[in-house]
């Protein structure tokens, strides 16, 4: 490893530690940020379900739980959101980590992490489940949900387009 590479790696570690220390000082602020993140993820899913259902003529997609508020966030446990239709599932699980802020599993600092799984009956019969990592990343002035595909190293925002990309293959 060259000296330049080692220097760059050290600089990234120092930046991450600095961001970590900034948030770890105020556990209440991180708790509030986590509740806001959970509500934001639910809002993204609810808007997606509502948008799709408004364009369907017969069948619909369901969202579980049917409603969500920040107070429903489970600090010490797994939180689950499911989008389903006709045996097709998109299951989102997320939780607070042991550290208030982490960069262990993802390069950007995050306060919540989890996984999204998408599958239908045919996929289950082949032992094939699409699985992507999720992170509620925080920055200086922003916080947003991001996905990470460890197979392709692709990352991006969790939004309407992302949910479409998960659901479409389940119906083909």
Mean of per-residue pLDDT scores for the chain: 89
Q: What is the pTM of this model?
A: 0.82
> Which of these, 40, 89, 86, lies nearest to 64 by C-alpha position?
89
Percent of the chain with pLDDT over 70: 94
What pLDDT, on a 0 to 100 scale, did the predictor assign at position 2? Answer: 72
User: How far is the C-alpha of 168 from the C-alpha of 77, rounded, in Å?
Assistant: 30
Q: How far is CA 146 from CA 30, 113, 126, in A?
A: 18, 9, 28
103, pLDDT greater than 70: yes
Query: Which pairs from 122-129 meet CB under 8 Å and 24+ separation?
Result: 123/170
User: How far is the C-alpha of 28 from the C-alpha of 163, rounded, in Å?
Assistant: 31
Give 111-161 pLDDT, tens digit per residue.
999 999 998 888 888 888 889 999 999 987 889 999 999 889 999 999 999
């Amino acid at each position: 490893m060259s000296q330049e590479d080692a220097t760059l790696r050290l600089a990234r570690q120092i930046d991450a530690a600095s961001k970590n220390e900034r948030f770890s000082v105020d556990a209440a602020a991180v708790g509030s940020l986590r509740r806001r993140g959970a509500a934001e993820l639910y809002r993204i899913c609810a808007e997606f379900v509502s948008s799709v259902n408004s364009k369907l003529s017969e069948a619909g997609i369901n969202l579980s739980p049917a409603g969500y508020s920040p107070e429903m966030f489970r600090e010490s446990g797994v939180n689950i959101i499911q989008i389903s239709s006709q045996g097709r599932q998109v299951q989102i699980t997320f939780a607070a980590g042991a550290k208030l802020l982490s960069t262990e599993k993802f390069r950007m600092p995050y306060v919540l992490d989890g996984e999204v799984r998408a599958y239908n009956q045919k996929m289950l019969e082949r032992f094939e489940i699409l699985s992507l990592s999720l992170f509620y990343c925080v920055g200086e002035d922003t916080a947003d949900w991001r996905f990470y595909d460890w197979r392709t190293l692709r990352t991006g925002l969790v939004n309407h387009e992302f949910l479409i990309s998960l659901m479409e293959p389940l119906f083909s």
